[in-house]
Amino acid sequence: MSSFEHAEPSLGLLIKESREKQARIAERVFLLKHFFEALKKIDSQGGKSEASRLEKILTYLSDDSCERLAIPENKEDRQGLIDLVVEQIDALAKELEQAESEMATAWQRSGKELKDYKVGSEKPAGVVELEERQIFLIGAQKTLQSLFNELTRWGI
């Protein structure tokens, strides 16, 4: 056996691992796209604009159909992508804190206490929408964190 034949399986393994990693990142992008669409709907109803920030990430990560990844070849651009994801994780954490604060205010204004709430009873005005917003923010934050972990694990 020549040394080339010995190298072939490891090259094949590297290609397989690379494809698997790319597939995992593509899955994260796909999930992000769904969060983006949901956040866009919330934004159109008068919410904040985290959807526009997520759109920047999607633009960096995929083409229009979200089928192929467009990972930047340039090291500075790749670092820019990671920086953007980290920035968005932080921004979403702040949005989540704000949503939690707004939720506490909504409960306070209603004169009701969250601790006294019983399942099935009516919630104060605006609380349901704030809860939905929190769910999307938490989901988007987790997806971004997973994407960041995948990008750094892949050495991007």
**Across the 156 residues of the chain, what is the mean pLDDT of every consecutive 10-residue run?**
48 63 64 62 57 60 48 67 74 76 75 65 72 75 74 62
pLDDT one-digit tens code per residue, 28-68: 666 666 666 655 665 565 555 555 656 656 665 554 444 44
Burial class (CB within 10 angstroms; exposed 0-12, middle 13-18, buried 19+) of 107: buried
Can you say how many angstroms the Cα of residue 76 is from the centroid of all Cα atoms in its chain?
A: 22
Whole-model pTM over 0.85: no
Please report where in the chains the tokens 């960041």 appear, as a residue.
Answer: 148
For residue 114, what are its two tokens?
């969250």
Torsion (CA) 115, 118, 121, 125 in degrees, nearest 10: 20
What is the reported pLDDT for 34?
62
Partners of 62 in the β-ladder = 69
Q: Residue 62 — φ and ψ, nearest 5°?
A: -150, 165
d(C-alpha 121, C-alpha 105), whole Å: 19
Q: What is the 3-state secondary structure (H, E, C) of 2-24?
A: CHHHHHHHHHHHHHHHHHHHHHH
